[in-house]
Amino acid sequence: MDAALNLLADGRPFASLGLREITRGAGLSAPAFYRHFDDMDALGLALVDEAGVALRQLMRDARQRVSEDGQAIPTSIKTFVEYLDRRAPEFRLIVSQSHGGSPAFRQAIARERDDFAKELADDLHRMAEHRGRPVRGRHALAEAMVTLVFAAGARMLDEDRDERARHMAQLALQLRMAQLGAETLAARDATVTGD
């Protein structure tokens, strides 16, 4: 897995990786690969799973940081960018395979994104209750936020510090706008129903 990630770190697409170059990078013979994986797709799916575990840990880290400083959006973005710096090859794999990979890849990545969005929706619900400002459509809001974050992350992978800072500020604004929209819809609904 590390050998494949090292090759992906150079920006190569997963489909361009060869079994022999991966096993050579791992210091194994080509047949030894099959003691660990059925085929290249199985290796890729294991990498996606590892990236999903790292993303869920990211959420836990961000939750802890937010509870300490109270700044949900800036803290979450900063935590995500730290993830990009540490796990760029896995994130590249997720981005590249989410639309162009095999059906198994696309389904696995969709599940990881869905899990990420479900955890975020739960966080949004807790934060809304804590602040006394409900949101409408927290699952839709979470999915929109995940889409924004993943798109920004794909851009930020290869950017210099100034470009990245500009995109981080833009992402913060977009996330705030989405959250404010969901809060405004909830407030409007409460006014209409008399709550």
Whether pLDDT at 12 is above 90: no
Q: What is the mean pLDDT of the chain?
A: 88
**Among residues of the chain, what percentage have pLDDT more than 90?**
43
Residue 123's alpha-carbon distances to 22, 63, 135, in angstroms, are 39, 8, 12
Residue 143's alpha-carbon distances to 6, 10, 122, 146, 153, in angstroms, are 30, 29, 12, 5, 15
Helices (H), 70-160: 72-100, 103-131, 138-156
Listed residue (151, 157, 110, 162) closest to 11, CA to CA: 157
**Among residues of the chain, what percentage have pLDDT more than 70?**
96
What local confidence, expressed as pLDDT, does residue 69 receive? 65
pLDDT digits (tens, 9 = 90+) for 137-165: 999 999 999 999 999 999 999 899 999 99
Contacts of 70 (CB under 8 A, 6+ apart): none
Single pTM value for the model: 0.84
Q: And the tokens for 194?
A: 């008399």
**Helices and strands, number each (H, E), in the chain:** 8, 0
pLDDT digits (tens, 9 = 90+) for 57-102: 887 888 787 776 668 899 889 989 998 998 888 888 888 888 877 8
Q: Which domains does the chain have, with CATH numbers?
A: 40-193 (1.10.357.10)
